[in-house]
Chain A
Amino acid sequence: MPDPAIEIENLTKEYPFGFLHLKKRTSLEGLSMQVEMGDVFGFIGPNGAGKSTTIKLLTGLIFPTAGSARILGKPISDVEMHRDIGYLPEQPYFYDYLTAAEVLDYFARFHDLTAANRKDRVDRMLKKVGLETARKIQLRKYSKGMLQRVGLAQAILHDPKVVILDEPMSGLDPVGRREVRDIILELKKDGKTVMFSTHILSDAETLCDRVGVIVGGELRGVGAPGTLVNMKTLGMEILFELTKQSNVPLLSSATRTGECYRLQVPEQELYGAIEQLRGAGARILSVSQVKATLEEFFMNLVEADRAQGAAVEVSGQ
């Protein structure tokens, strides 16, 4: 079995604060996980959950308080590890006095590429992210979405084996988001490992082989989106119409949309509910299994975390 692309062991990050820096705030606590070679891994969590902290630790922008991580077998403290990774920062900003072609050429120079190779790659990347026609415009005139595209181009410019993207869809319009999704899928097709953080759960659901859910600096679940979601089966949904006014007890827990009613019941109570509805003269339109979405799984975790936070606050601990 090949070594994992990214291995994280007990990674912890604390930030000192207060006048004498004696107090500590934990941004990330004992994170341990792996991203397999060739996987697209989605890192999801609310604001301040620790997604960007993890990514900054992996890219060497900040240093861990405890724990360790390796990318392609090399420790994150090894600068040579950076040859094989591409990184898109959250809300990227680049030297605004340079044009897109110049900034890409500048970054390419750190990868020991020949002048001809650099030019070829810069041209290809600008085409890939749709900035061919804006290549000679200084970045100070770029929109947020265009800067995001430059950021993506510089991250994959040197053909890295592992691509780490912090909120890659941020600031992009639907077309831009679609293009980023296509690029991620293309990277996967080329055998690259992609790890990206996102707030947009549908993107994680459609793109990722595995996702990690992080809340309050702690990893709450890792697995294929389907595996995580199946942990919470919500039951069966019956869609029906009432042909006549009737007094079905179940009606009070149904939701009405136009002429239709939706009723959600536990799996074991399905047949009983159908019998009751039919007895009341209801026309059953459909019966479907209610699958929890990644969003529901995510929201359950966030709500639980908030409730726990409130409890701690109330008890004064």
Chain B
Amino acid sequence: MRRAGVVALNTFREAVRDRVLYNLVFFALLMIAASVAVGQISIGIEQTVIVSLGLSAISVIGLLISIFLGVALVSKEMDKRTLYALLAKPVRRSEFLLGKFAGLVLTLAVNTAAMALGLLLAMLYVKHSLERSDTVVLVAVYFILLKLALIVALALLFSCFTTPLLAILFTVGLYIAGLYVQELRNLPIEVMSPAMSAFTKWLSYLLPNFENFNVMAMAAHGRVVPGALILQNTWYTVVYCTIVLTAAAAVFSRRNLK
């Protein structure tokens, strides 16, 4: 575990030195522009607009980082052969993977936290004050971070056995499919054969359910997110990530580094 921590801190350092956190400048500019504009073009719905825009930006920026850097976590190390010297040290491949995963999640956490702070400042500017109910925005940001952790785990799994391009396509494909899990469960099963019905049901539980993480509308309208949902999403992410990372470790532990 300590060795995974060493890898994680180095992954975080890599992200910082490779200027990944520069996206925060873009986010800050977006928030400043939106705050100024929202006061002039919308009356009474400033909070809805600024929260929706802010959370969407946090989600999109996070998605881009988690997919592209998630895939590069392993493939870049193999392409550049930086992994060779490392794996000759007393470190298990599973520890290396866990470290890379934790390092990118740490990067995303710092990045998301900074953007959340920016969003709160923009809300303060627009509303002139923050209320207790505004904490729902932080819950929405937390859910985005959980979603990103899941995406990083998936990207890491795919990059362990295929090319970076395919890994990106698989991750994006699975993310899009995961947004429609509820629709898949609600398909009119009576018109399907029993086998097809069973397959659809099985598939809907196998796919990552990203729909549960979307509380943007609740946050934009200041509605409270139930504690049970917070617990459920946290637990779901932990279990799903554990399963995906275990599969990634199983694949990567057998991979020949050419």
Measured CB to CB, the residues of A under 8 A from B are 15, 56, 59-63, 79-80, 82-83, 85-89, 91-95, 97-98, 106-107, 109-111, 151, 154-155
Contacts and interface: CB of A to CB of B under 8 A. Distances in A.
19 contacts: A61-B87, A61-B257, A62-B256, A62-B258, A79-B90, A79-B91, A82-B89, A82-B90, A85-B88, A87-B84, A87-B85, A89-B81, A91-B81, A92-B81, A92-B84, A93-B82, A95-B14, A106-B10, A111-B89
A85 B91 CA distance: 13
A107 B13 CA distance: 15
B10 A95 contact: yes
Given A79-B92, A83-B90, A110-B89, A95 B82 contact: yes
Interface string B60-99: 0000000000000000000011101111111110000000
Interface residues of B, number: 23
Contact of A59 (B3, B87, B254, B258): B87
B132 interface: no
B9 to A, nearest CB: 9
A83 B85 CA distance: 13
B98 to A, nearest CB: 14
A60 B3 contact: no
Contact of A56 (B18, B86, B257): B257
Interface string B95-123: 00000000000000000000000000000
Q: Is the interface of A mostly helix, strand, loop or mixed?
A: mixed
Nearest to B84: A89
A117 B88 CA distance: 21
Given A97-B13, A97-B14, A111-B90, A62 B82 contact: no
B251 to A, nearest CB: 13
A61 B88 contact: yes
Given A63-B254, A110-B3, A110-B6, A94 B90 contact: no
B8 to A, nearest CB: 12
B17 interface: yes
Interface of B: 3, 6, 10, 13-14, 17-18, 80-82, 84-92, 254, 256-258
B18 A97 contact: yes
A93 B81 contact: yes
Contacts of A89: 81, 84-85, 88
Q: Which 3 A-B pairs have the closest CB atoms?
A: A87-B88, A97-B17, A89-B84
B14 A82 contact: no
A101 to B, nearest CB: 14
Nearest to B81: A93
Q: Which of B81, B84, B89 has the most CB of A within 10 A?
A: B89
Nearest to A62: B256
A109 B87 CA distance: 13
Contact of B88 (A59, A62, A94): A59
Contacts of B3: 109-110
A109 B6 contact: yes
A63 B87 CA distance: 13
A310 B86 CA distance: 40
Given A62-B256, A87-B88, A110-B3, 4 more contacts: A79-B90, A87-B85, A98-B13, A110-B6
A109 B89 CA distance: 10
A62 B257 contact: yes
B81 to A, nearest CB: 5
A146 B257 CA distance: 24
